[in-house]
Chains A and B, each alone.
Chain A
Amino acid sequence: MFHQIEGSLAVAKAVALCRPEVVSCYPITPQTHIVEAVSALVKSGELSPCEFVNVESEFAAMSLLIGASAAGARTYTATSSQGLLFMAEALFNASGLGLPIVMTDGNRAIGAPINIWNDHSDTMSMRDCGWIQLHAESNQEAIDLHIQAYKLAEQLSIPVMVCVDGFILTHAYEKVDLPTQKQVDDFLPPYEPVQVLDVNDPVTIGAMVGPEAYTEVRYLLHHKHTCAIELIEQIGMDFNSQFGRPSGGLITSYRTEGAETVIVALGSVNGTIQETVDELRDDGVKIGSIKITSFRPFPLAALRDALQHAKRVIVVEKYLAPGLGGILASNIRMALRGLNTKVGTIVAGLGGRAILKNSLREAVALAICDELEEPYFLDMNWDLIRGEIDRAGQTRRSGPTAEHVLRALRQSTANPETPLVPVAR
């Protein structure tokens, strides 16, 4: 049934349709609307039986789900940004223990400088925490991926993170098709744990493992990710046949037939990228794009297959690995090792900066002429950076960077001669 609702509410309703039995909640922008909506569904009795627990930190939110999941309950929480980092230790623990927890991350930048807007710094920094990470392009896909996430998590007994771009998706009102309870029940069987705390069959969970078997136990987590590569495709196809719309899978190609240049990205920016591709195709440029849904496990074979005929790949990533550049681009180079494909990195959209079609077109033009710097920073205000480096170099006690950058920006924007903020053209 179609609804015109906020992304957060759509996610909350989709999660409720999956019948979680324990939900923990700790507020952080921009995830708050999701857990608020779930809390109302539990309080009103619409989602029952379910225990909704307001905890004192994200570390506790994840820890509580570790206990609940180990005790055999289907579990859910949502977080963002600093919250995801605050649960870091528990994230590794949940995957190490093999607990099929499902969590939404409303993707948001990491401080300092504190910033509440969207990029992928949070989940990207937790890329090796052992969780499966699925990225939604739209609110419809966010709904669908949560339903698929429970099936995937429980089939492999591994936690799954559904990454939903903060504000861009969580706060966007879009038309979405919410499935019925029966549809979801038919797709998602009740949770049957592979390990459970049971008074009638006592087990020890979380024992210490020394060098004699630690590698093997860790490998078995890697093995689950290997299995997930196939299972994600399978669950996506099953979803399509039961719900009547394509959703999920590892990657999705867009107009890549005969494409010499392919843009690759995660999440909601794929909409802008596809429009850019359309415009460039109209101009005769042989270009397409690929949306990666599954960032972990990373679909090496699928990407190699999809990109093997491309001359160049441009990776748009909402993340900066200081001292390196891009992580997604590095991963794609691994998928393409041995091929002569050029892989460029565009760092874009950090801290909520808009990713504009015209800026992308400029970058693509540079890439086609082999003039794209590595990494390339989309719409970077180099005047501001040069000014700050000069200023800071003049004295030892140069003071806090962020405050000075903001001051310089305000002074320069007072002068209309020097536009420092990228504007839509």
Chain B
Amino acid sequence: MATDTVKFYQTGTFTVGNRLLDGKLRTIQSLPQRPNSLDSGHRACQGCGEALGARYAVDAAYRASGGKLMVVNATGCLEVFSTPYPESSWQVPWIHSLFGNAPAVASGVAAAMKAKGKPHTRVVAQGGDGGTVDIGFGCLSGMFERNDDVLYICYDNEAYMNTGVQRSGSTPPAARTATTQAVGPHPGNNFRQGKNLPRIAIAHGIPYVATASVADLHDLEAKVTAAMEVHGARYLHIQVPCPLGWGADPSHTIRLARLSIECGLFPVFEARDGAVTSVRKIRNRVAVDEYLKLQKRFAHLFGKNADQEALRSIQAIADNNIAFYNLLEASE
């Protein structure tokens, strides 16, 4: 991975001021010439993980492309909050077509650039989990399979937030959504369902697949930069907490993203040419309860009638991830 984990020993945290870093490792957002691809003034909710993730991701791609970047957006929160006419927040060439076709539109932009002899103009496509793992999946798989020169970024907030929090193929087990309500003998979303798109992407044998989190924006930037150094189909899956859909305090967005990594439910890793090449180790392992109890979508698992069986099943998923990706430091 392009980043080094630096522990700030004076305070015991991993949050490192940019001034302590080598110039070329400093975050793009700290630079006076940061591109502001997604500019201020948009209509995202307070604490929106997707707005934060998109801002860092697209700016990093912009810098990596030397400013020659075109962005294709699927329908969804990101598209809606950033474009109500004529208040576009996008400072880059940007197109939105439909919910399910962003990967194909991006392939078309890339094909046009190739035909016009402009291979240095790069293309990023982006969408939420609904636009990626569900309705856009056919187009995404096609784009992967053809190895078209597109970086696709999924901002995964684990449900259809734009339409009012309905279940998607990325909604975690037990989570309450508007279509998997906390009622009946098995409240919330079903277990043993859902798609693991990063692994599906890896199975396509594309040159670069990674997961990232808004809890580690430096790592996120580094992964976008690494992805942009490669040509062909690339996939980045970013977990982005949604205060509205998750029933969480807007001030907990980063904390939730971090706890999701630290409990093992969201493994952060990088894969090249079909094989996992690096993982971000868990620093302070926590039980899944620590992550789940901050979110009202899991409230039915706690309290008087706590669903210990469901909690054990979710913990087992985290344990399985930790074993599969070898997420613990060797010393632990």
Contacting residue for A22 out of B115, B145, B146, CB 8 A: B115
**Minimum CB–CB distance for A11 against chain B, Å:** 21
Determine whether A393 belongs to the interface, using a CB cutoff of 8 Å to chain B.
Answer: no
- Which B residues from 108 to 158 make CB contacts under 8 A with A? 108-117, 121, 138-139, 141-142, 145-146, 148
Determine whether A1 belongs to the interface, using a CB cutoff of 8 Å to chain B.
Answer: no
Given A51-B115, A55-B104, A60-B139, A93 and B97 contact (CB-CB distance below 8 Å): yes
CB neighbours (8 Å) of A72 from chain B are 112, 116
CB neighbours (8 Å) of B72 from chain A are 67
Q: Tell me whether B138 and A49 are in contact (CB under 8 A).
A: no
CB neighbours (8 Å) of A54 from chain B are 146
Q: Could you give, for residues 12-43 of chain B, a 1 whenever the CB lies within 8 Å of some chain A CB and a 0 otherwise?
A: 00000000000000000000000000000000
A65 vs B106: C-alpha distance in the bound complex, in angstroms?
10
Determine whether A203 belongs to the interface, using a CB cutoff of 8 Å to chain B.
Answer: yes
Q: Could you give, for residues 59-93 of chain A, a 1 whenever the CB lies within 8 Å of some chain B CB and a 0 otherwise?
A: 11001111111111101000000000000011001
Q: Tell me whether A63 and B97 are in contact (CB under 8 A).
A: yes
Contacting residue for B117 out of A49, A55, A70, A97, CB 8 A: A49
A212 vs B73: C-alpha distance in the bound complex, in angstroms?
23
Q: Tell me whether B96 and A56 are in contact (CB under 8 A).
A: no
Q: Tell me whether A68 and B94 are in contact (CB under 8 A).
A: no
A18 vs B327: C-alpha distance in the bound complex, in angstroms?
56
Q: Tell me whether A199 and B69 are in contact (CB under 8 A).
A: yes
Determine whether A50 belongs to the interface, using a CB cutoff of 8 Å to chain B.
Answer: yes
CB neighbours (8 Å) of A49 from chain B are 115-117
**Minimum CB–CB distance for A215 against chain B, Å:** 13
Q: Tell me whether B85 and A66 are in contact (CB under 8 A).
A: no
Determine whether A208 belongs to the interface, using a CB cutoff of 8 Å to chain B.
Answer: yes
CB neighbours (8 Å) of A204 from chain B are 83, 88, 90, 94-95
Q: Tell me whether B108 and A67 are in contact (CB under 8 A).
A: yes
Q: Tell me whether B108 and A63 are in contact (CB under 8 A).
A: yes
Q: Tell me whether A67 and B139 are in contact (CB under 8 A).
A: no
- Which B residues from 48 to 100 make CB contacts under 8 A with A? 67-70, 72-73, 79-80, 83-86, 88, 90-98, 100
Determine whether B101 belongs to the interface, using a CB cutoff of 8 Å to chain A.
Answer: yes
Contacting residue for B112 out of A68, A202, A213, CB 8 A: A68
CB neighbours (8 Å) of B115 from chain A are 21-22, 49-51, 68, 73
Q: Could you give, for residues 182-217 of chain A, a 1 whenever the CB lies within 8 Å of some chain B CB and a 0 otherwise?
A: 000000000000000111011111111110010000
- In this complex, the member of A63, A67, A68 whose beta carbon has the largest number of chain B beta carbons within 10 angstroms is A67
Determine whether A57 belongs to the interface, using a CB cutoff of 8 Å to chain B.
Answer: yes
Determine whether A24 belongs to the interface, using a CB cutoff of 8 Å to chain B.
Answer: yes
Q: Tell me whether A57 and B138 are in contact (CB under 8 A).
A: yes
**Minimum CB–CB distance for A65 against chain B, Å:** 6
Determine whether A405 belongs to the interface, using a CB cutoff of 8 Å to chain B.
Answer: no
Q: Tell me whether B138 and A56 are in contact (CB under 8 A).
A: yes
A210 vs B83: C-alpha distance in the bound complex, in angstroms?
11
CB neighbours (8 Å) of B108 from chain A are 22, 24, 53, 63-71, 73, 75
Q: Tell me whether A202 and B90 are in contact (CB under 8 A).
A: yes
**Minimum CB–CB distance for A167 against chain B, Å:** 29
Contacting residue for A207 out of B69, B83, B109, B110, CB 8 A: B83
Q: Tell me whether A208 and B95 are in contact (CB under 8 A).
A: no
CB neighbours (8 Å) of B73 from chain A are 206
Q: Could you give, for residues 361-405 of chain A, a 1 whenever the CB lies within 8 Å of some chain B CB and a 0 otherwise?
A: 000000000000000000000000000000000000000000000
Given A64-B108, A207-B88, A56 and B95 contact (CB-CB distance below 8 Å): no
Determine whether B322 belongs to the interface, using a CB cutoff of 8 Å to chain A.
Answer: no
Determine whether B257 belongs to the interface, using a CB cutoff of 8 Å to chain A.
Answer: no
- Shortest Cβ distance from A67 into B: residue: B108
Number of A residues contacting the other chain (C-beta, 8 Å)?
43
Contacting residue for B109 out of A90, A197, A210, CB 8 A: A197
**Minimum CB–CB distance for B94 against chain A, Å:** 5
**Minimum CB–CB distance for B101 against chain A, Å:** 4
**Minimum CB–CB distance for A201 against chain B, Å:** 8
Q: Tell me whether A202 and B93 are in contact (CB under 8 A).
A: yes
Given A57-B138, A60-B138, A70 and B95 contact (CB-CB distance below 8 Å): yes
Given A24-B108, A67-B72, A90 and B98 contact (CB-CB distance below 8 Å): yes
Determine whether B105 belongs to the interface, using a CB cutoff of 8 Å to chain A.
Answer: yes
Contacting residue for B95 out of A75, A89, A205, A210, CB 8 A: A205
Q: Tell me whether B141 and A56 are in contact (CB under 8 A).
A: yes
CB neighbours (8 Å) of B114 from chain A are 51
Q: Tell me whether A210 and B70 are in contact (CB under 8 A).
A: no
CB neighbours (8 Å) of A199 from chain B are 67-70, 92-93, 121
Determine whether B107 belongs to the interface, using a CB cutoff of 8 Å to chain A.
Answer: yes
**Minimum CB–CB distance for B308 against chain A, Å:** 44
**Minimum CB–CB distance for B32 against chain A, Å:** 20
Given A63-B101, A71-B70, A207 and B116 contact (CB-CB distance below 8 Å): no
A210 vs B104: C-alpha distance in the bound complex, in angstroms?
26
CB neighbours (8 Å) of B104 from chain A are 55, 59-60, 63-64, 67
CB neighbours (8 Å) of B142 from chain A are 55-57, 60
**Minimum CB–CB distance for B42 against chain A, Å:** 12
- In this complex, the member of A64, A66, A201, A205 whose beta carbon has the largest number of chain B beta carbons within 10 angstroms is A64
Q: Tell me whether B106 and A206 are in contact (CB under 8 A).
A: no
Q: Tell me whether B93 and A198 are in contact (CB under 8 A).
A: yes
Q: Tell me whether B86 and A59 are in contact (CB under 8 A).
A: no
Q: Tell me whether A73 and B95 are in contact (CB under 8 A).
A: no
Q: Tell me whether B95 and A206 are in contact (CB under 8 A).
A: yes
Contacting residue for A53 out of B93, B107, B116, B117, CB 8 A: B107
Could you jot down 23 A-B contacts, CB within 8 Å? A21-B116, A22-B115, A24-B108, A51-B114, A53-B111, A54-B146, A56-B142, A59-B139, A63-B104, A65-B108, A67-B110, A67-B111, A68-B109, A68-B115, A73-B111, A73-B112, A93-B98, A197-B93, A197-B109, A199-B67, A202-B92, A204-B94, A206-B97
A residues lining the B interface (CB < 8 Å) = 21-22, 24, 49-51, 53-57, 59-60, 63-73, 75, 89-90, 93, 97, 197-199, 201-210, 213
Besides A54-B146, A55-B104, A209-B85, 13 other A-B contacts (C-beta < 8 A): A49-B115, A49-B116, A55-B107, A55-B142, A60-B107, A60-B138, A63-B139, A66-B97, A66-B101, A67-B111, A73-B111, A197-B93, A202-B91
Pick the 6 closest A-B CB pairs, nearest first.
Answer: A67-B108, A56-B142, A63-B101, A206-B96, A63-B104, A67-B105
